[in-house]
Every structure is written in structure tokens, then in C-alpha cells.
A and B are shown apart, each in its own frame.
Chain A
Amino acid sequence: DTEVTQTPKHLVMGMTNKKSLKCEQHMGHRAMYWYKQKAKKPPELMFVYSYEKLSINESVPSRFSPECPNSSLLNLHLHALQPEDSALYLCASSQDRGGANVLTFGAGSRLTVL
């Protein structure tokens, strides 16, 4: 299995809703990432988990809350989002952090906040 699976593919939510994005990989990768991508912009790093521990939080607002239940799963919990949070949310994984570790991306979850 060489894939990163993300669910849901599309999500529409109101500003008062609570929802979660899920990501799963079975490649034995020990680093997992959440990126946010707006149209015609490069991916913007949000969080990095390394060996199931949060190693990077790029000053992301607290309305985004990551969780890594085990080495194969990564969640992003969403609460009280703003319309400007509408974007493509990409999960990625790599064997480890650094060097020649290639990121494998999931297909993304397209989020619309009304």
C-alpha cells in the first residue's frame, strides 16, 4: 500500500460546527504532516508529527487541533472556523523527517466554511 488516504474528500461546514478530517497511511512512515493550500498557492505547513509526537506547529490558530492516535492515523479537528479557512487540506507522510525523505500526499479534503 503506497497511498495516503484522506476523508472526507469534500466538507461544507458552518462557522459553529465541529468536524474532523482524517488521514491514514500504511507505509510504515513515521512522519505525518498537515498542509493547507489555497488556490494557485503552494502548500502551507500547519503541523508535523514525528513518531506520533507533535514536532512542529506553525503558529496555527487553536480552532485547528491535530491528533495522532497511532503511527498510521492523523486527524485534524475543526471548530469555529472562519470563511477564510476554506481551502484544500492536504495530509502527507514520509519515512522520516529530513534529507531525502519524499513526501507522499493524500488527495486532499476540500473544505468550505460558510
Chain B
Amino acid sequence: GQNIDQPTEMTATEGAIVQINCTYQTSGFNGLFWYQQHAGEAPTFLSYNVLDGLEEKGRFSSFLSRSKGYSYLLLKELQMKDSASYLCAVMDSNYQLIWGAGTKLIIKP
């Protein structure tokens, strides 16, 4: 079966750095996405990785290792507005998006 694992909840302090991990086992691989979703709102796109390595975009970076079936999202200089759920999703060989259950990130002052 297809499976994506990410922690259910994480807590971090404003101004700090947090790393949200995602491991996956899917039928094929056509890229990995990270989305941010604030409570009651729609998911918004953060990053896309298809090759191994680190993609940096401002305060957010995403890393991928295809051989390990592993990705992480790194958030720097945390702000209160970063409190949200972070969803990892993998596109499989049928171009279907397989979603993780999401990681709820709580930022404390």
C-alpha cells in the first residue's frame, strides 16, 4: 500500500527553527509537495521537490532524498502566523497525489 508518515503535532518557539519530517512509501514517485493549511482555510502551496537536495524559498526550505523516501520542511525565524498544519503529499506513478495526515505546528511566544 501507499503510505506517508509525518508527526501529528509539533511545538516551537517564535524566532526559532523547526524541521518537519515526512517519510513515504508510494507506487512510483513524480515529486513531493508541501502545503500549508491554516485552520478552516484551504491549503496553500509551499514547495515542490522532484530531485534530491535542498530547495530554499525565503524562510522556508524543503529537502528530498528519494533513495531514503524522506523529505523535510525547514522553517526559520518562526512567526506566530506560521501556526498551521503542514501537509506532505507525494505524486505517484499514476500522477495521483497521496497526502500525509498533516503536522499541526504550534508556535509559542
Within residues 28 to 83 of chain A, which ones have a CB less than 8 A from any CB in chain B?
40-43, 45, 56
How many A residues face the partner with a CB closer than 8 A?
A: 20
**Are A108 and B41 in contact, with the CB atoms below 8 A?**
yes
Given contacts A41-B101, A42-B100, A42-B101, contact A98 B42 (CB under 8 A): no
B30: chain A residues within 8 A (beta carbon)? 98-99
**Is the C-beta of A107 less than 8 angstroms from some C-beta in chain B?**
yes
A 10-22 binary contact with B (CB < 8 Å = 1; else 0)? 0000000000000
Given contacts A99-B31, A102-B48, contact A43 B95 (CB under 8 A): no
**Are B50 and A100 in contact, with the CB atoms below 8 A?**
yes
B 66-109 binary contact with A (CB < 8 Å = 1; else 0)? 00000000000000000000010101000111011110100000
A99: chain B residues within 8 A (beta carbon)? 30-31, 50, 91, 95
How many B residues face the partner with a CB closer than 8 A?
A: 22
Given contacts A99-B30, A100-B31, contact A43 B48 (CB under 8 A): no
Q: How far is the CA of A107 from the CA of B97 in the complex (A)?
A: 19
Within residues 7 to 60 of chain B, which ones have a CB less than 8 A from any CB in chain A?
30-31, 33, 40-45, 48, 50
Main secondary structure on A side of the interface with B: loop
**Are A103 and B97 in contact, with the CB atoms below 8 A?**
yes
A contacts, CB < 8 Å to B: 40-43, 45, 56, 88, 90, 97-100, 102-108, 110
B contacts, CB < 8 Å to A: 30-31, 33, 40-45, 48, 50, 87, 89, 91, 95-97, 99-102, 104
Other A-B pairs beyond A102-B45, A105-B44, 17, CB < 8 Å: A40-B102, A41-B102, A42-B87, A42-B101, A42-B102, A43-B87, A56-B96, A90-B42, A90-B43, A98-B30, A99-B31, A99-B50, A99-B91, A102-B48, A103-B45, A107-B42, A108-B42
